[in-house]
Chains A and B, each alone.
Chain A
């Protein structure tokens, strides 16, 4: 009750703020040319969370990885089209049998303290990652390695017991400086607060709870970045962050759909900022507990998907800032089969499928009944995500129209995991996954991953899918993998143990004085070292 009251007050105040915006939109939009690239200036970025540690191996939050990503580099990275390319490794070869990967390291790369980067650093990073004493969440891919060797300072070779395609991606892990860490306890290292890497930016200072300052690495092997300083300000409240942006104290942040569509659509804002929009690497889904008798019949699940209007969700919840999802892969990537369509919105079809599954009669409330039991279930979702709650409400209304009674429960994240997900104590969940560029989804769908605390918590078991997943991760041949994953998507579209709902859009906004930004499938940050501010527009 109380929070409802607060929310309406906040809504009221937002209306007021928006109303204020309207008066100011007289200024004509300023046309800006590309200008000439120049060194200097700073980019001030806002972040909701503060990084926990700047040793990426130990970090599990996105803020840490975002900052550390500028300071450290991996052997490989994703290019603008989400294909792997060499970073610290100039190139690599995979042996014919797919068991051995040899990385040829770049020569002459220097750590920020002047020491030379060699295969010793890679070897150290590998060893510390698999060391059982290291509290890291990322050891699993490296544990598949059977033998690691560094025959000379510029070669690093790993051998696997069987071909393992996600292995390559795992070498994108930030390489740590052996000369600063070897023989020391990594959990007590200074590097957590004062990192030394090989990346395009050098760590300068971290004022706890306020900001982190990075300076451009003039010796960077891909050339000195134009922007001299990268300043990361910690602003825990999103309304505050938005006001900081408008006042000019921030140059970049991620917008919400409402901000993107309604609050920033003024000539004044458009003259000062550039908005970008591209699909985020994530999707939201409704997952059914397959151990529950209600959802064991595939026709019922197909009916549920047919009864849900995904378009309506994208427009109502995301204000159109997203797209309907039909499968687990990001649209536009090679693993995503663009022809896959699951069940379009068709309530008549839903009713028919339900009738086939035995849900024919309705009780006095208009709810379908089978063997004397009404068709009733609860959608669980986590607290603090308004988009998911709204989505659940829209689904509730649509399912009511075909005679299904849905309840919604919102639960705090920790209890959500420990009391419901881990115990399999749920009927349906509304959640999201982040999509990694590598299409391997073994952990989420393979039948061996249905144990407690494992990620196939809905209990999906399909031998055909198991085979495809094993085959897909067992080869480096992209064409072969594509065939596996496209077939896999067809099966998912039939099985509908998840109703894939939508892929949201990432909505970054950047000050118009920054040039050189080229949106690509990987987003906008991939070419950050090429961003620049023309001399006459530099602020800092």
Chain B
């Protein structure tokens, strides 16, 4: 087992290097430079001032030198300072935004699976009934409606016309003075709209998957056997069928875990949520190299760690992998 782990860890080193190389290349291949984005077309900035800024950011050095310096710092877990004028450490910027994105994504994921599973199971059990068709229309509606459009309409209805829900942001005015519980309620109140819109849009994939998986299981012999034993329909479906049908969906859940740290730019922009999506988007628009590379590397790194964990779990379950054979 230890041997296997060491082997896996050593294999990660070239992978990580590859990731840094690709991140660096992708970012530097895009046209324009951070300095350009800051000062271009500003009559008060001379060519000399421009050069001074380039030098400050180290952009006057050859690319391979820039890359080696960056990787060298990365090896010490130093992601460097942002090229934005505030020059704050990249890690600070990410730390500030990650909790928001992470918690919203976790809640959204729970809601998505929590709703999509019953929405998938019910139509499978009552196949070709109006319920089945209705659900199909419902989830595909959610899938096809552009989220930004739905979001704007709901914001107008609930925020402007009815005044029931806040339109955007995460906190009410003066919420800093609230107690902890009230702050939490305030946050939840602000999250109702964005979470509903996000969940509605993502129901289709999981629920359709669930439905087909359920249909497949129901037609199996052992379900017929269970029915023949005289078990109630409820027990057959919930105990025998659902468990097996859930397995592929749980794998799907595993796939969505690395996505938890990425935010949707569109949703964050419309609802003014300060999350990772906006950070990455604004960073790339401003050609903030260290920030964008930092986000890419951290994201890729987390994915690698996630894969490693699942492989370790597989290894526990399957001796063939553990022994490095087969």
User: Contacts of B48 on A, CB cut-off 8 Å?
Assistant: 140
Q: Is the CB of A6 within 8 A of B52?
A: no
Binds B, one of A104-112, A240-248, A472-480, A499-507: A240-248
A residues with CB within 8 A of B:
6, 9-10, 13, 16-17, 20, 44, 52-53, 55, 58-61, 64, 132-133, 135-141, 187-188, 192-193, 205, 207-211, 231, 233-237, 239-240, 243-244, 246-247, 249, 412-415, 417-419, 431, 433, 436, 441, 443-444, 451, 453-455, 540
- What are 28 A-to-B residue pairs whose CB atoms are below 8 Å? A6-B146, A17-B156, A44-B173, A59-B85, A60-B42, A64-B85, A135-B87, A137-B38, A139-B49, A192-B85, A209-B97, A231-B173, A236-B268, A237-B270, A239-B152, A239-B270, A240-B167, A243-B152, A243-B155, A243-B168, A244-B168, A249-B167, A413-B32, A413-B37, A414-B30, A414-B32, A436-B43, A444-B43
Q: Is the CB of A139 within 8 A of B52?
A: yes
Inter-chain CA distance A208–B287, complex, in Å, is 20
Contact of A443 among B43, B56, B268 (CB under 8 A): B43
Closest to B36 in A: A417
Q: Which of A6, A13, A61, A193 has the most CB of B within 10 A?
A: A13
Contact of B47 among A17, A53, A453 (CB under 8 A): A453
Known: A58-B86, A137-B38, A205-B176. 14 other contacts (CB 8 A): A13-B153, A53-B86, A53-B87, A61-B85, A135-B52, A137-B39, A140-B46, A140-B48, A192-B87, A209-B97, A209-B273, A240-B155, A243-B159, A414-B287
Which are the 8 A-B pairs with shortest beta-carbon distances? A209-B274, A414-B32, A53-B86, A135-B56, A415-B31, A58-B85, A443-B43, A53-B85
Inter-chain CA distance A451–B31, complex, in Å, is 20
Inter-chain CA distance A137–B41, complex, in Å, is 12
Closest to A455 in B: B43
Q: Is the CB of B152 within 8 A of A13?
A: yes
Inter-chain CA distance A187–B167, complex, in Å, is 36
Is B134's beta carbon under 8 Å from chain A?
Answer: no
Q: Is the CB of A247 within 8 A of B159?
A: yes
**What's the nearest-Cβ distance from chain B to residue A523, in Å?**
20
Q: Is the CB of B36 within 8 A of A414?
A: yes
User: Contacts of A205 on B, CB cut-off 8 Å?
Assistant: 176
Inter-chain CA distance A64–B286, complex, in Å, is 15
User: Contacts of B43 on A, CB cut-off 8 Å?
Assistant: 433, 436, 441, 443-444, 455
A137-B42 contact in complex given A235-B272, A236-B278, A418-B32, C-beta closer than 8 Å: yes
User: Contacts of A436 on B, CB cut-off 8 Å?
Assistant: 43
A140-B44 contact in complex given A52-B85, A235-B272, A240-B271, C-beta closer than 8 Å: yes
Q: Is the CB of A240 within 8 A of B272?
A: yes
Closest to B273 in A: A209
Inter-chain CA distance A453–B47, complex, in Å, is 7
Is B240's beta carbon under 8 Å from chain A?
Answer: no
The proximity string for B residues 141-153 relative to A, scoring 1 for CB distances below 8 Å and 0 otherwise, is 0000010110011
Inter-chain CA distance A239–B287, complex, in Å, is 26
**What's the nearest-Cβ distance from chain A to residue B183, in Å?**
13
Is B161's beta carbon under 8 Å from chain A?
Answer: yes
User: Contacts of B87 on A, CB cut-off 8 Å?
Assistant: 53, 58, 135, 187-188, 192
Q: Is the CB of B272 within 8 A of A414?
A: no
Contact of B36 among A17, A211, A418, A443 (CB under 8 A): A418
Inter-chain CA distance A249–B167, complex, in Å, is 9
Closest to B274 in A: A209
**What's the nearest-Cβ distance from chain A to residue B58, in Å?**
11
**What's the nearest-Cβ distance from chain A to residue B295, in Å?**
15
Contact of A52 among B52, B84, B174, B274 (CB under 8 A): B84
Q: Is the CB of A414 within 8 A of B50?
A: no
User: Contacts of A413 on B, CB cut-off 8 Å?
Assistant: 32, 37
Is B322's beta carbon under 8 Å from chain A?
Answer: no
A414-B146 contact in complex given A53-B85, A141-B44, C-beta closer than 8 Å: no
The proximity string for B residues 83-94 relative to A, scoring 1 for CB distances below 8 Å and 0 otherwise, is 011111000000
Q: Is the CB of B44 within 8 A of A137?
A: yes
Is B166's beta carbon under 8 Å from chain A?
Answer: yes
Inter-chain CA distance A237–B287, complex, in Å, is 21
Q: Is the CB of A16 within 8 A of B169?
A: no
User: Contacts of A249 on B, CB cut-off 8 Å?
Assistant: 166-167, 173
Is B248's beta carbon under 8 Å from chain A?
Answer: no
User: Contacts of A441 on B, CB cut-off 8 Å?
Assistant: 43
User: Contacts of B44 on A, CB cut-off 8 Å?
Assistant: 137-138, 140-141, 443
User: Contacts of B159 on A, CB cut-off 8 Å?
Assistant: 243-244, 247
**What's the nearest-Cβ distance from chain B to residue A466, in Å?**
16
Contact of B149 among A9, A132, A207 (CB under 8 A): A9
Is B160's beta carbon under 8 Å from chain A?
Answer: yes
Those of B34-76 within 8 Å (CB) of chain A:
36-50, 52-53, 56-57
**What's the nearest-Cβ distance from chain B to residue A436, in Å?**
7
